[in-house]
């Protein structure tokens, strides 16, 4: 971003440092980002809603507090974009679905409260595939988001708006949610850092549920350090989420630059061959070489059931979704299509309110859970999930971290994969196993493909393995070739 109006304050770390020290004002920083949004948002459509006036009020309050001698916190004055499936009190939260259009939650998600307490400034709600179901943002009821590196291509999904917002310089950091790769895949396609934390590390309270045993909130950032700072702010036990991990996890930022000397890192054999584009594999092997040069011990790891994760996921996630989305019935919130009888009203409401992909997944999940098919599909998928978790357990006896591509290809063109849902689902083969196991993983940009589009490398860690995972990410970031910057 050569023409940024932010005087070099393009990272969360530098903004917070300057604002806390009184060397920059949160309002000035914000105005710079709002100007960038105004310039390019019509072309990108990263946001469902830009909160310019609300953000100005928050930024002014932060500046007042700094002037009064207060410390607003580790994200003081840092603009942040929020995926539009995170509840924001009194502010529309749509999940990019017609069925929730205009709905304003009566409470804030825990992560939204934590961001406010840390001094962050929310600049808007970002676009997503409807209810986070998709890998391209083409399933949004409000139109797709465009990849800032090439607006003829998708940004990935489902958190495509959050990834594009960071890539386009609309905010230094953003939050997304990852159920089967929805943070990591768009991060890879947009050339930014994306983190799927260990299941239970970040509270899901106020995250609109898609598949509750898989969903996890996580950061997007332009740098590994910013992702680390943001993760440390949003992590932690929350009594309002019964699946939240009770014990405190070690923060990742303090040890970020400790290097990878002696770390054992395994390349996942099953995800490093068939089905992966050759330029993607080229970047993967270059990343492994960079880690080795930094002192890591690189070996070949095997997760024999990894590629079967796709089949398990596309039964488990829709099954959970079909149950979670039963609540959209026109009774308590969102749109209602009137009919003389309640049952008819519910059917008319859901038929008009849900888009094609959401209907397809509800149908798939309802079928997988229905009498006569439960054992054959859902039951079997849960057993495959066990196999994948066991494979990881075995691999992590030998390795501290694992490595794979994040996405089999670079960003694809609009419409390229919409005709056949299965083709779209195959995008998620590298990211899904982590969600099934409840582990951590992140995507770090590591150069570009033959088409000049960004390629990310995925670092996988066992549950609560974020500390070494971030150390490896910092090493990769330092070794990454400088990719072509997004021209504004």
Partner 1 sequence: MSDPHSSAVADAAPITRDDVVHVARLARLALSETEIERFTGQLAAILDHARDVESLDVEGVPPMSHPFPLVNVLRDDVVGPCVDRDEVLAMAPAVEDGRFRVPPILGEEP
- Closest approach, Cβ 253 to partner 1, in A, equals 25
> Does residue 350 belong to the site contacting partner 1 (CB under 8 A)?
yes
> Does residue 362 belong to the site contacting partner 1 (CB under 8 A)?
yes
> Does residue 383 belong to the site contacting partner 1 (CB under 8 A)?
yes
H/E/C letters for each residue in the chain? CCCCCCCCCCCHHHHHHHHHCCCCCHHHHHHHHHHHHHHHHHHHCCEEEECHHHHHHHHHHHHHHHHCCCCCCCCCCCEEEEECCECECCECCCCCCHHHCCCCCCCCCHHHHHHHHCCCEEEEEECCCHHHCCCCCCCCCCCCCCECCECCECCCCCCHHHHHHHHCCCCCEEEEECCCCCCHHHHHHHCCEEEECCCCCECCCCECCCCCCCCCEEEEECCHHHHHHHHHHHECCCCCCCCCCCCCCCCCHHHCCCCCCCCEEEEEHHHCCCCCCHHHHHHHHHHHHHHHHCCCEEEEECCCCHHHHHHHHHHHHHHHHHHHHHHCCCCCCCCCCCCCCHHHHHHHHHHHHCCHHHHHHHHHHHHHHCCCCCHHHHHHHHHHHHHHHHHHHHHHHHCCEEEEECCCCCCCECCCCCCCHHHHHHHHCCCHHHHHHCCEEEEEEEEECCCCCEEEEEEEECCCCHHHHHHHHHHHHHHCCCCCCCCC
In the bound state with partner 1, the residue whose beta carbon lies nearer, of 69 and 383, is 383
In the bound state with partner 1, the residue whose beta carbon lies nearer, of 293 and 363, is 363
> Does residue 339 belong to the site contacting partner 1 (CB under 8 A)?
yes
> Does residue 373 belong to the site contacting partner 1 (CB under 8 A)?
yes
In the bound state with partner 1, the residue whose beta carbon lies nearer, of 151 and 366, is 366
Stretch of 21-29, 222-230, 257-265, 359-367 lying at the interface with partner 1 (CB under 8 A): 359-367
72 burial class (0-12, 13-18, 19+ CB within 10 angstroms)?
buried
Please tell me the count of residues contacting partner 1 according to CB under 8 A: 73
Residues 237-266 that bind partner 1 (CB under 8 A): 239, 242-243, 245
Residues 212-231 that bind partner 1 (CB under 8 A): 213
> Does residue 273 belong to the site contacting partner 1 (CB under 8 A)?
no
Going by C-alpha positions, the residue among 79, 56, 67 that lies closest to residue 20 is 67
At residue 454, φ and ψ (nearest 5 deg) are -60, 150
> Does residue 397 belong to the site contacting partner 1 (CB under 8 A)?
no
- Closest approach, Cβ 363 to partner 1, in A, equals 5
- Give the residue, chosen from 49, 66, 224, 315, that forms a contact with partner 1 under the rule CB under 8 A: 315
In the bound state with partner 1, the residue whose beta carbon lies nearer, of 262 and 332, is 332
> Does residue 366 belong to the site contacting partner 1 (CB under 8 A)?
yes
- Give the residue, chosen from 260, 284, 381, 401, that forms a contact with partner 1 under the rule CB under 8 A: 381
- Give the residue, chosen from 8, 262, 343, 482, that forms a contact with partner 1 under the rule CB under 8 A: 343
Q: Which residues are known catalytic residues?
A: 83, 158, 182
Tell me the residue length of the chain.
488
What does the alpha-carbon distance between residue 153 and residue 32 come to, in Å, rounded to a whole number? 27
Residues 407-466 that bind partner 1 (CB under 8 A): 420-422, 425, 436-439, 463
In the bound state with partner 1, the residue whose beta carbon lies nearer, of 281 and 337, is 337
Residues 64-123 that bind partner 1 (CB under 8 A): 103-104, 106-107
- Give the residue, chosen from 150, 151, 367, 449, that forms a contact with partner 1 under the rule CB under 8 A: 367
- Closest approach, Cβ 337 to partner 1, in A, equals 9
> Does residue 312 belong to the site contacting partner 1 (CB under 8 A)?
yes
> Does residue 331 belong to the site contacting partner 1 (CB under 8 A)?
yes
Stretch of 28-36, 167-175, 202-210, 358-366 lying at the interface with partner 1 (CB under 8 A): 358-366
> Does residue 382 belong to the site contacting partner 1 (CB under 8 A)?
yes
Residues 280-309 that bind partner 1 (CB under 8 A): 305, 307-308
Residues 182-211 that bind partner 1 (CB under 8 A): 199-200
> Does residue 330 belong to the site contacting partner 1 (CB under 8 A)?
yes
**Would you state the structure tokens that stand for residue 472, as one six-digit string?**
């490896």
> Does residue 348 belong to the site contacting partner 1 (CB under 8 A)?
yes
- Closest approach, Cβ 168 to partner 1, in A, equals 32
Residues 119-148 that bind partner 1 (CB under 8 A): none
In the bound state with partner 1, the residue whose beta carbon lies nearer, of 23 and 104, is 104
**Would you state the structure tokens that stand for residue 112, as one six-digit string?**
């939204």
- Give the residue, chosen from 152, 375, 397, 482, that forms a contact with partner 1 under the rule CB under 8 A: 375
Strands 440-448 and 193-196 come out as: antiparallel
């Amino acid at each position: 971003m050569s023409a940024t109006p932010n005087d070099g304050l393009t990272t969360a770390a530098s903004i917070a440092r300057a604002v806390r020290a009184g060397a920059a004002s949160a309002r000035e920083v914000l105005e710079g980002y709002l100007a960038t949004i105004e310039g390019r948002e019509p072309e990108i459509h990263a946001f469902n809603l830009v909160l310019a006036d609300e953000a100005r009020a928050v930024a002014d309050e932060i500046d007042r507090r700094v002037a009064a001698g207060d410390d607003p916190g580790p994200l003081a004055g840092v603009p942040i974009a929020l995926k539009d499936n995170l509840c924001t009190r009194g502010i529309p939260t749509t999940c990019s679905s017609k069925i929730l259009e205009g709905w304003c939650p009566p409470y804030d998600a825990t992560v939204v409260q934590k961001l406010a307490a840390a001094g962050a400034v929310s600049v808007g709600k970002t676009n997503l595939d409807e209810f986070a179901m998709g890998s391209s943002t083409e399933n949004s009821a409000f139109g797709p988001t465009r990849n800032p590196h090439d607006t003829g291509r998708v940004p990935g999904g489902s958190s495509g708006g959050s990834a594009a917002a960071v890539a386009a310089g609309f905010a230094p950091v953003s939050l997304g949610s990852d159920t089967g790769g929805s943070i990591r895949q768009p991060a890879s396609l947009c050339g930014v850092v994306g983190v799927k934390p260990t299941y239970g590390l970040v509270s899901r309270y106020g995250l609109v549920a898609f598949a509750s045993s898989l969903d996890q909130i996580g950061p997007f950032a332009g740098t590994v350090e910013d992702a680390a700072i943001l993760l440390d702010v949003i992590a932690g036990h929350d009594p309002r989420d019964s699946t939240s991990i009770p014990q405190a996890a070690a923060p990742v930022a303090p040890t970020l630059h400790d290097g990878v000397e002696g770390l054992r890192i395994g390349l996942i054999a099953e995800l490093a061959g068939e089905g992966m584009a050759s330029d993607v594999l080229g970047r993967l092997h270059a990343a492994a070489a960079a880690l080795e040069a930094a002192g890591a011990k690189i070996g070949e790891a095997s997760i024999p059931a990894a590629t079967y994760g796709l089949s398990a996921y596309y039964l488990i996630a829709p099954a959970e979704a079909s149950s979670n989305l039963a609540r959209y019935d026109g009774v308590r919130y969102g749109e209602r299509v009137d009919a003389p009888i309640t049952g008819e009203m519910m059917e008319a409401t859901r038929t008009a309110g849900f888009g094609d992909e959401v209907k397809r997944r509800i149908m798939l999940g309802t079928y997988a859970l229905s009498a006569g098919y439960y054992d054959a599909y859902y039951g079997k998928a849960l057993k495959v999930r066990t196999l994948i978790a066991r494979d990881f357990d075995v691999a992590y006896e030998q390795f501290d971290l694992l490595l794979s591509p994040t996405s089999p290809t670079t960003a694809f063109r609009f419409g390229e994969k919409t005709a056949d849902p299965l083709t779209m689902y195959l995008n998620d083969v590298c990211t899904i196993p982590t969600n099934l196991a409840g582990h951590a993983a992140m995507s770090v940009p590591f150069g570009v493909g033959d088409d000049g589009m960004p390629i990310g490398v995925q670092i996988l860690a066992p549950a609560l393995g974020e500390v070494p995972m971030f150390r490896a990410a910092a090493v990769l970031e330092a070794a990454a070739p400088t990719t072509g910057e997004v021209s504004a």
